[in-house]
Structure 1
Amino acid sequence: MDLQDQLKNLFPDHEPEDEPDNDKNEPSYWLQDDPIICKYEKRKGKPVTVLEGYNGADSDFKKLTKDLKTLLGVGGSFKNEAIIIQGDYRDKIMDFLKENGFSVKRVGG
């Protein structure tokens, strides 16, 4: 007897509810018409990828920053209306943003 059968024996009148569909794989972000600028810079001799031009709410910025850092396994931050990711990850970031429905423009090399 598994757990479901035991619960049916204990509560014969109960009808289980359908589980809600929570898509953890598809986070929803506020999308915009203007492209996000993805550029590479060196700050204090270290490479960083800077994303500018996103005009969503602060909570959307933080959520997008967190998801990018988790995807890449690197550090980063959200400062002055820009997302700063440590390292040169322009290609991976642009692929992630395109998968989530953003339009992206690459600036520089």
Structure 2
Amino acid sequence: MSRKKSKTKRSVDGLQALNAFGILDALGKLPDEPVDSIPGVVAKTAKRGQKNPQRGRVDIVRQTAHRGGKAVTIVKNFTGIGLPEKQELAKKMRKACGVGGTVKDGCIEIQGDKREEVKRILTDAGFNPVFSGR
């Protein structure tokens, strides 16, 4: 059995539903100038597209274990950051330090003892880098 659809508009709280343009017409005249130029009105700024200046703590560790005595700088404990952004940060670090590196197991590994350069790049990206380990 099929139901027949009624052709009448449904009412909302006793009022007949209007289309979207009817609702806009009911608003009346809107201001011609932007909201931020009206005195006494504070406009909100969207944070999308802007870098978050407080992105959390990351640890910078220098390791030599299992690497034949060669030092490696490891950046770990990222929170709320995906693999593509880690790869982009690793690329910036490799380029600034002039060495090789990779992203393994959620950590960024840079060849050599480059803790100071890595700290500068992470600070510019909005992280709070902390030297940990030995």
Structure of greater Rg:
2
Q: What are structure 1's unaligned runs of at least 5 residues?
A: 1-27
Following TM superposition, by how much is the alpha carbon of 1:34 offset from its aligned partner in structure 2, in angstroms?
Answer: 2.9
1:58 to 80, 83, 105: 83
Following TM superposition, by how much is the alpha carbon of 1:95 offset from its aligned partner in structure 2, in angstroms?
Answer: 1.6
Deviations 1:50-96 (A, max 9, x none): 00011311110111111110111100000001000000010111122
Q: Percent identity?
A: 28
Counterparts of 1:1-109 in structure 2, within 5 Å, are 33-42=55-64, 43-55=67-79, 56-109=81-134
Q: CA RMSD in A?
A: 2.0
Greater fraction of residues in strand: 1
Hey, what's the Cα distance between the residues in 1 that align with 2:73 and 2:51?
A: 20
Across the two proteins, how many residue pairs are aligned to each other?
82
Q: What are structure 2's unaligned runs of at least 5 residues?
A: 1-49
Q: Are the structure 2 counterparts of residues 38 and 72 from structure 1 closer, same or farther at C-alpha, using a change threshold of 3 Å?
A: same
Structure number with the bigger relative contact order (C-alpha 8 A, sep ≥ 6) is 1
- Under a length normalisation based on structure 1, what TM-score does the superposition of the two structures give? 0.67
Kept after mapping to 1: 8 A contact 2:96/2:117: no
